[in-house]
């Protein structure tokens, strides 16, 4: 229904429409960049439950449109005045045509022979990544066991978001099958979360740090982009490998646009988003899988052992309810109270403790709450930070809780 609506509207205004059918968001983005089209539209709710849907609009450079353009578009919709062209556009159907995307992905695989020897369980969560990751790995000769691989917008297999609580079946099958790796994607295939060979779901920022470590060894001095709420493990690896870390506001569009602007090699988010510029600087779950497989193959060590080499930190993320209209007031109170200690206001308020930890307080963009993130090298230090900052935030919100 949404496809027919958006296609009819575009055609009526004189635009040509090329219908690619079911593909992943990163595949669409790649195709827009590498074809003469001026834009792309992905119909998806990304990782959200089946009752949701939406449009992700892609600019001619193959990256999500900037927020300013999105707002302009929303204004046009609310104006609700439409003109039609006397020369409607043409519609062509090229269902599933993503060959050049697939070839480029395949060219990023380092060692085909060794990749063949792996056994990998892939949980595409009934999403469209069933058309890319398992297909690519099977083509390379890897033993692939697919679960939830029938594409179904009702997502009968599991919740579409690849969070640990949704990946119990994947962990179990990785253990039972004695597989080397488990890979889980979200509905539109732009995120990937990995399960090690012991069945443990690994946090996205530790996987990011591993990929970062690998890439910086062969690209010393390269830039890495990550949002301001990412674990210190990523900054520690950048320091160790002489990479340059660039922090952004939270959100995939911020990371994508910064990777391009800074000429960075890699971008990444804690939620399982990996952006690899030599492929295409957008969040892509399948390139994430390729980079993780490359790391396992190159080091000839199990995934859990590779992650064990990374420094460990303790992190908490808390939600503090706060009425929508009171968020900015609470943030202003915090700004005043923390005066002289704030290290960044790029996105929320961040206080750093000389490389031993940090705390970040942000107003949620979508929910009536403030988010409190804290991380430290030791559990005790983390507790100290929380003991100081939790009451401070609660106090700033005061009786404006929900």
Phi, psi of 34 (to 5 degrees): -100, 20
Q: Please name the residues in contact with 164: beta carbons below 8 A apart, sequence gap of 6 or more.
A: 193, 201
- Please, what is the minimum distance in Å from the beta carbon of residue 123 to Mg ion? 15
Count of positions on this chain that bind Mg ion (CB under 5 A): 5
The Cβ of residue 250 has, within 10 Å, a number of other Cβ atoms equal to: 21
Q: Residue 163 class from Cβ within 10 Å (0-12 exposed, 13-18 middle, 19+ buried)?
A: middle
Are the beta carbons of 137 and 117 closer than 8 angstroms?
Answer: no
Instruction: Closer to Mg ion by CB, 336 or 366: give it.
Output: 366
Q: At 184, which helix (H) or strand (E)?
A: strand 181-185
DSSP-derived letter for residue 277 is: T
CA distance 287 to 109: 9
Q: Residue 98 class from Cβ within 10 Å (0-12 exposed, 13-18 middle, 19+ buried)?
A: buried
Instruction: Closer to Mg ion by CB, 28 or 170: give it.
Output: 28
- Per CB under 5 A, the segment of 9-17, 39-47, 109-117, 124-132 that binds Mg ion is 39-47
- Please, what is the minimum distance in Å from the beta carbon of residue 283 to Mg ion? 7
Is residue 46 part of the annotated active site? The answer reads yes
269 binds Mg ion (CB under 5 A): no
CA distance 163 to 48: 12
Residue 274: strand pairing partners: 268
Site string for Mg ion, 159-198 (x = CB under 5 A): ---------------------------x-x-x--------
CA distance 315 to 248: 19
Instruction: Closer to Mg ion by CB, 161 or 347: give it.
Output: 161
- Per CB under 5 A, the segment of 46-54, 174-182, 198-206, 385-393 that binds Mg ion is 46-54
- Please, what is the minimum distance in Å from the beta carbon of residue 190 to Mg ion? 4
Residues 346-385 within binding reach of Mg ion (CB under 5 A) = none
The Cβ of residue 386 has, within 10 Å, a number of other Cβ atoms equal to: 16
Residue nearest to Mg ion (CB): 46
Q: State the catalytic residue, choosing from 46, 160, 171, 231.
A: 46
Instruction: Closer to Mg ion by CB, 33 or 47: give it.
Output: 47
CA distance 127 to 147: 11
- Determine which residue in the list 24, 46, 126, 142 makes contact with Mg ion, applying CB under 5 A: 46
CA distance 70 to 62: 15
Instruction: Closer to Mg ion by CB, 17 or 253: give it.
Output: 253
Instruction: Closer to Mg ion by CB, 190 or 254: give it.
Output: 190
Q: Residue 280 class from Cβ within 10 Å (0-12 exposed, 13-18 middle, 19+ buried)?
A: buried
CA distance 265 to 215: 8
- Please, what is the minimum distance in Å from the beta carbon of residue 383 to Mg ion? 34
Instruction: Closer to Mg ion by CB, 123 or 214: give it.
Output: 123
Q: Measuring CA to CA, how many Å separate 345 from each of 238, 317, 325, 330, 363? A: 22, 18, 20, 15, 12
- Please, what is the minimum distance in Å from the beta carbon of residue 391 to Mg ion? 36
Are the beta carbons of 192 and 232 closer than 8 angstroms?
Answer: no
Instruction: Closer to Mg ion by CB, 127 or 203: give it.
Output: 127
- Please, what is the minimum distance in Å from the beta carbon of residue 26 to Mg ion? 9
CA distance 296 to 289: 11
Q: Measuring CA to CA, how many Å separate 188 from each of 155, 192, 256? A: 12, 11, 17
- Please, what is the minimum distance in Å from the beta carbon of residue 275 to Mg ion? 13
- Please, what is the minimum distance in Å from the beta carbon of residue 127 to Mg ion? 8
Q: What tokens does 350 get?
A: 């961040």
The catalytic residue positions are 46
Which residues make up the interface to Mg ion (CB under 5 A)? 46-47, 186, 188, 190
């Amino acid at each position: 229904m949404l496809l027919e609506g958006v296609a009819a509207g575009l055609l009526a205004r004189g635009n040509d429409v090329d219908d690619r059918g079911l593909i992943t968001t990163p595949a669409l983005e790649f195709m827009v960049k590498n074809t003469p089209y001026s834009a792309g539209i992905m119909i998806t709710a990304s990782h959200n439950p089946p009752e949701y849907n939406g449009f992700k609009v892609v600019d001619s450079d193959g990256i999500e449109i900037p927020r300013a353009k999105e707002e302009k578009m929303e204004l046009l919709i609310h104006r609700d005045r439409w003109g039609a062209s006397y020369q409607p556009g043409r519609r062509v159907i090229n269902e599933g045509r993503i060959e050049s995307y697939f070839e480029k992905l395949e060219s990023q695989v380092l060692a085909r022979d060794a990749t063949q020897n792996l056994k990998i369980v892939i949980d595409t969560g009934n999403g469209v990544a069933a058309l890319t990751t398992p297909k690519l790995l099977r083509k390379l000769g890897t033993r692939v066991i697919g679960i939830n691989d029938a594409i179904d917008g009702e997502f009968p297999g599991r919740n579409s978001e690849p969070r640990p609580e949704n990946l119990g079946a994947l962990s179990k099958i990785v253990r039972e099958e004695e597989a080397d790796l488990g890979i889980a994607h979200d509905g539109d295939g732009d995120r990937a979360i990995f399960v090690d060979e012991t069945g443990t779901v690994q946090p996205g920022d530790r996987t990011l740090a591993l990929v970062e470590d690998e890439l910086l060894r062969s690209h010393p001095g390269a830039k890495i982009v990550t949002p301001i709420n990412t674990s210190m493990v990523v900054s520690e690896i950048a320091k160790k490998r002489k990479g340059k870390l660039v922090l952004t506001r939270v959100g995939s569009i911020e990371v994508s646009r910064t990777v391009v602007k800074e000429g960075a090699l890699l971008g990444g988010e804690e939620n399982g988003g990996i952006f690899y510029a030599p492929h295409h600087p957008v969040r892509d779950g399948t390139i994430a899988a390729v980079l993780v497989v490359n790391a396992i193959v190159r080091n000839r060590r199990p995934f859990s052992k590779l992650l064990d080499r990374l420094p460990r930190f303790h992190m908490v993320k808390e939600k503090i309810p706060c009425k929508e209209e009171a968020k900015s007031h609470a943030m202003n109170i915090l700004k005043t109270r923390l005066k002289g200690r704030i290290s960044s206001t790029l996105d929320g308020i961040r206080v750093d403790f000389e490389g031993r930890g940090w705390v970040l307080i942000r107003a949620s963009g979508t929910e009536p709450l403030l988010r409190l993130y804290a991380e430290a090298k030791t559990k005790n230090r983390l507790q100290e930070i929380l003991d100081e900052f939790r009451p401070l935030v609660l106090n700033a919100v005061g009786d404006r809780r929900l």
